[in-house]
């Protein structure tokens, strides 16, 4: 796999799709939890929120898959992207300096997601002071 400085992550509770890319190349991989949960609905008169806990092993595997990217865009349709940001903040705080943004997106095709990330980083690079 070629080393790329830009990455985009699309994550929900069932999988994370990670794309490391440059202007003309893309490497991708998919990380899945060992024990994906099903939807849990809150029941009347039941103790607890009805939500399953965050899968820390899954989130750690996603962080490992992101690796040493210098610019990271985290996307996804639900709260898993927020859980990933919280996990990075707690367990890999130096990576937070490389998280360029967090966006809500539905379920895009891989090519659409990478095209969006390339556009995002072109715009972000114009807004960032150059060294």
Degrees to nearest 5, angle at CA 119 with 118 and 123: 115
CATH of domain 6-34+48-127: 3.30.420.60
List average pLDDT for each run of 10 residues in the chain, which is 131 residues long: 85 96 94 72 55 85 95 96 97 97 96 96 70 51
**For residue 47, what pLDDT is reported?**
56
**For residue 42, what pLDDT is reported?**
53
Phi (first) and psi of residue 18, to 5 degrees:
-115, 130
């Amino acid at each position: 796999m070629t080393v790329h400085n830009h990455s985009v992550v699309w994550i929900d509770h069932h999988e994370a799709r990670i794309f490391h890319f440059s202007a003309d190349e893309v490497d991708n991989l998919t990380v899945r939890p060992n024990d994906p949960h099903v939807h849990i609905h809150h029941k009347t008169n039941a103790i607890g929120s009805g939500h399953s806990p965050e899968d820390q092993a899954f989130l750690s595997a996603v962080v490992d898959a992101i690796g040493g990217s210098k610019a990271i865009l985290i996307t996804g349709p639900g709260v898993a992207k927020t859980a990933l940001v919280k996990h990075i903040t707690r367990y890999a705080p130096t990576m937070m300096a490389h998280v360029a943004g967090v966006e809500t997106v539905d379920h895009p095709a891989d090519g659409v997601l990478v095209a969006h990330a390339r556009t995002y980083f072109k715009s972000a690079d114009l807004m960032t002071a150059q060294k």
